[in-house]
């Protein structure tokens, strides 16, 4: 596990493992580059899994999504999405996320997801 994920180990009530995805053929353009819209889908799916693992699954709505694209994912590459709860204020849960290639740990994007239940 990459060193950047070690900060999660002190949060006993929160999931400690990244969510892994593989880029599928329907998610890429003719040049085998993942479409930018897929990053939001992967981040939200990672959030769903994170909430289930933390025992917090249930209906929610996304109130904010921010993403800084750094590099591209390619067809069949394996990606790891790591989430960390930043804060809970007025019923809004804010999570930061980073997405990396599992091979080589190249950062693809970083961002923020805010949800309310």
For 99-113, how does the pLDDT look when each residue is reduced to its tens digit (9 = 90+)? 999 999 999 999 999
Distance (Å, rounded) from C-alpha 54 to C-alpha 16? 10
Q: Would you say 77 and 24 are in contact if contact means Cβ atoms under 8 Å apart?
A: no
3-class secondary-structure state, position 111: strand
A 10 A CB-CB count for 14 gives 15
Instruction: Please give the CATH number for the structural domain made up of 3-116.
Output: 3.10.129.10
> What confidence tier does 51 reach under pLDDT thresholds 50, 70, 90?
confident
Strands (E), 60-105: 61-69, 78-89, 92-101
- Per-residue pLDDT at 12 exceeds 50: no
């Amino acid at each position: 596990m990459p060193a950047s994920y070690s900060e999660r180990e002190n949060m006993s009530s929160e999931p400690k493992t990244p969510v892994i995805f593989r880029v599928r053929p329907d998610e890429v353009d003719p040049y085998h580059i993942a479409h930018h819209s897929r990053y939001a889908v992967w981040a939200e799916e990672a959030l769903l899994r994170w909430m289930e693992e933390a025992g917090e699954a249930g209906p929610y709505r996304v109130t904010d999504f921010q993403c800084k694209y750094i590099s591209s994912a390619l067809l069949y590459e394996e990606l790891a999405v790591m989430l960390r709860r930043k804060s809970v204020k007025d019923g809004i849960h804010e999570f930061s996320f980073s997405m990396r290639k599992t091979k080589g740990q190249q950062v693809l994007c970083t961002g923020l997801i805010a949800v309310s239940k």
